[in-house]
């Protein structure tokens, strides 16, 4: 039996969040036919930094202009492409929208929507994505707590 070839791949993406009516929401991308929901992410172009790739890919896939606040985590997994086993690492960043609109997303996904965090955790297709959102929720909670402490000191 022939040994499978292996390769490495990398992507960058983000958890974009906003606070609306006192609730934290995150944006997800999905495919209607599959009933799937994912975090936006994509492959770097030659010469791009991880942060540049994350901003570009998240903007293209969601229609939002975004700004990175901080790294969240990276995840790694294996998958098959033809007869090649690929080890992929995805680097995720916590982001906020600075403009744009989800109606302006590219055609890679046919749906883009905001979800309250708990609902996002329930609909995400992959457990890895849910783990990233959980970590993002911890960072968001910490950020909001710090903002609240700073506001009380004033």
Of the candidates 34, 19, 29, the one whose C-alpha atom is nearest the C-alpha of residue 129 is 29
Give the pLDDT confidence of 101-142 residue by residue, as tens digits. 999 999 999 999 999 999 999 999 999 999 999 999 999 999
pTM of the model: 0.93
Matching residue, tokens 């708990």: 118
Measured distance CA(92)–CA(136) in Å, rounded: 9
Q: Which residues of 23-56 are buried (b: 16+ CB within 10 A; e: fewer)?
A: ebbbbbbbeeeeebbbbbbbebeeeeebeebbbb
The pLDDT assigned to 20 comes to 93
Residue 23 has pLDDT above 70, yes or no: yes
**3 has pLDDT over 90:** no
Cα–Cα distance, 26 to 39 (Å, whole number): 9
Q: Give me the helices (H) in 8-116, please.
A: 50-62
pLDDT tens, position by position, 52-87: 999 999 999 999 999 999 999 999 999 999 999 999
Backbone φ and ψ of 136, nearest 5°: -60, -40
Mean pLDDT, residues 8-33 taken together:
96
What the chain holds in terms of domains, given with CATH numbers, is: 5-153 (3.90.79.10)
Which residues, at least 6 apart from 79, have a Cβ–Cβ distance to it below 8 Å? 85, 86, 88
pLDDT over threshold 70, residue 154: no
CA torsion 86→105→28→38, rounded to 10°?
-20
Confidence band, pLDDT 50/70/90 cuts, at residue 4:
confident
pLDDT computed for residue 97 by the predictor: 98
Residue reference for tokens 């993002």: 136
Contacts of 122 (CB under 8 A, 6+ apart): none
């Amino acid at each position: 039996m022939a040994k499978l070839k292996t390769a490495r791949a990398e992507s960058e993406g983000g958890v974009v969040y906003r606070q609306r009516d006192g609730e934290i929401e995150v944006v997800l991308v999905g495919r209607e036919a599959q009933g799937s929901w994912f975090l936006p992410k994509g492959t770097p172009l030659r010469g791009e930094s991880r942060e540049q790739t994350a901003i570009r890919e998240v903007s293209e896939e969601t229609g939002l202009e975004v700004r990175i606040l901080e790294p969240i985590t990276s995840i790694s997994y294996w998958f098959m492409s033809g007869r090649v086993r690929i080890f992929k690492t995805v680097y995720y960043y916590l982001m906020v929208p600075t403009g744009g609109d989800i109606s302006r997303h590219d055609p890679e996904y046919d749906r883009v929507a905001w979800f309250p965090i708990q609902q996002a955790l329930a609909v995400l297709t992959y457990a890895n994505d849910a783990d990233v959102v959980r970590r993002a929720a911890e960072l968001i909670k910490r950020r909001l707590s710090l903002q609240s402490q700073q506001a009380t000191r004033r």
